[in-house]
Amino acid sequence: MSSFEYRGGALHAEDVSLTNLAEKVGTPFYCYSAEMLRKAYTDFAGAFAGLDVTVCYAVKANSNQAVIALFAALGAGADVVSEGELRRALAAGVPADKIVFSGVGKTRDEMDMALRADCGQFNIESEPELAALSEVAASLGKSATIVLRVNPDVDADTHHKISTGRAGDKFGIELDRIREVYAAAAKMPGLNPSGLAVHIGSQLTRLDPFRDAFERIAALVRELRADGLHVDRLDLGGGLGIVYRDEVPPVPTDYAEIVRDVFGDMDVALTFEPGRRLTGEAGILVTRVIYVKESGGRKFAVVDAAMNDLIRPTLYEAWHDIDPVAQPADDAARMPLDIVGPVCETGDVFAVQRDMPPLAAGDLLAVRSAGAYGAVMASTYNSRLLIPETMVNGSQEAVIRPRTDYDTLIGQDVVPGWVTAQ
C-alpha cells in the first residue's frame, strides 16, 4: 500500500498535491507520508504479538526528529550509532532505557555521555571496546548493560557494501571468540553482560540467511548458559528489505515465524532494529527538470536534485523508480532517457536509459523509495544547499527541516587574518 498515488491527473502524498507542495517549498525536496510510517511500524511490531519484544528504530536510516518522534509515540525505542544520534533520539522523546547504542567505533567521550544519560544497552563490537567501556563505566560508578555483537559468518546475499555479518567484515566479534570474551566480561567492573546481538546486513529479500544466523545465535546461548553465564536478552538487528524495483521482500509475519521457531522457548527478551523497512517506501524525492538535452545519441533530463541530495544511485548503483508528478496518458510514447543531476561529476546520475514518457523543462519528477538513506546521507558538495524535508498527514503538511541558506552555508567557514595579509 502506497500513499503516493495519482489523483485527478497529479501525484499526491496522501491528500496533499505534490504540485502544490512544490510551489510552496521549492524543489528539490523530500516528502514523507506519516500514514505509511505508522503502518510500517505497526505491521512490523504487530508481527511479534505475544513475545517480549522491543522495536528500536535504527536512526541512521532517517534521523529527522519528526520521524523519530512519530515512532516513539507508537512505543518505539531507538538504535543509535553516535552521540549525535543519541542526542537526536533523546530530544525526540525516546526514553533513555529504550535506546541501544551500536557501532564499531564508540569513543570514550560518547560512552561517558551515554552512561550519564542512562542509555539502556550497549552493543559491544570488539574486545578493546569492551575494556574501554568497563573503564569509563567504573570511573562513573555506573553499570553498563551490554550485549556482545556476534559476527556469525553468514552471507546475507545483499550489496557487498551493506553486508555486515561475513568473516572479514568490520562488525562484531568472531563466533568462536564469544564464549571466552563473554566470560571475561562477566568479571570486568562496570559491566552487566546480558546477552548477544547479531545483524547480518541490510535490504535482505530472503529469509534463509536470517534463520542461519539465528540458529547459530541460539546454539551459542545454550553454550553460554551451560557455562553458567547469564543470558536474558538478544538483539536480532534489522535488515528486512523493501521494494525499490521488482523485489518481493519477506513480510514481517513470516520473519516473526522464524523468530518464534528459533527463540520461542528460550526465555529471552528480544530487540529488533528496523530502519529502512520502516521509512524507505514512506518517502520520495521531488525534483524538477531544468533542461532536456541530447548528446552522443543519448537524451538527458537534467534535474535540480543531485547526488549530494540522494547518493544511493551513485554509491550503490541503486535503482529507484521515477515517475512524473503529472500523470502521463496511458498511451503516451516512452523513450530511453538518462536522468542526471547538475553536480560536476559523471556519476551524478539517477537513472540510465530509463523508459520515460516525454519530459520538458519545468516538469516535476518523484523519485520513489527515498525515505531511507536519502536526506540523512546528504551533503553540501558543490556548495549546494541541504534541501527541505516535509511530512504529510492526511491533508496536513509540514516542513520538518527547512532548506538551508547560503549565508549559513558560507558563514560556517573562518578565514584567518594571515591568509589575506600582505
Percent of the chain residues topping a pLDDT of 90: 88
DSSP 144-187: EEEEEEEE------S-GGGB-SSTTSSSSEEGGGHHHHHHHHTT
Dist. CA 124–CA 141, nearest whole Å: 19
Q: Which long-range contacts (CB under 8 A, 24 or more apart) does 125-133 make?
A: 125/149, 125/171, 125/172, 125/173, 126/173, 127/173, 127/177, 127/181, 129/104, 130/181, 130/184, 130/185, 130/188, 130/191, 131/188, 132/106, 132/108, 133/106, 133/190, 133/191
Check: CB of residue 217 under 8 Å from CB of residue 254.
no
pLDDT tens digits, 341-372? 999 999 999 999 999 999 999 999 999 999 99
> Would you place residue 330 in the very low, low, confident or very high pLDDT band (cuts 50, 70, 90)?
confident
pLDDT for position 157:
52
Rg (CA), the chain: 23
pLDDT for position 161:
41
Cell of 232: 536474558
Per-residue pLDDT, averaged over 403-418, amounts to 96
Percent of the chain residues topping a pLDDT of 70: 95
> Would you place residue 166 in the very low, low, confident or very high pLDDT band (cuts 50, 70, 90)?
very low
Going by the DSSP 8-state scheme, the letter that residue 27 receives in this structure is: S
Q: Give the strand pairing for 396-401 and 389-393.
A: antiparallel
Check: CB of residue 237 under 8 Å from CB of residue 198.
yes
Per-residue pLDDT, averaged over 172-196, amounts to 95
Higher pLDDT, 203 or 192: 192
Instruction: Give the active site residues.
Output: 344
Dist. CA 133–CA 127, nearest whole Å: 10
Sequence letter at residue 136: V
pLDDT for position 13:
98
Q: Which domains does the chain have, with CATH numbers?
A: 4-31+280-411 (2.40.37.10), 34-276 (3.20.20.10)
> Would you place residue 169 in the very low, low, confident or very high pLDDT band (cuts 50, 70, 90)?
low
Taking every pair of C-alpha atoms in the chain, what is the biggest distance, in angstroms?
77
Element (H, E) at 299: strand 298-303
Per-residue pLDDT, averaged over 194-201, amounts to 93
- Report whether pLDDT(165) > 50: no
- Report whether pLDDT(415) > 80: yes
Cell of 32: 514523507
pLDDT for position 164:
46
pLDDT tens digits, 235-266? 999 999 999 998 999 999 999 999 999 999 99
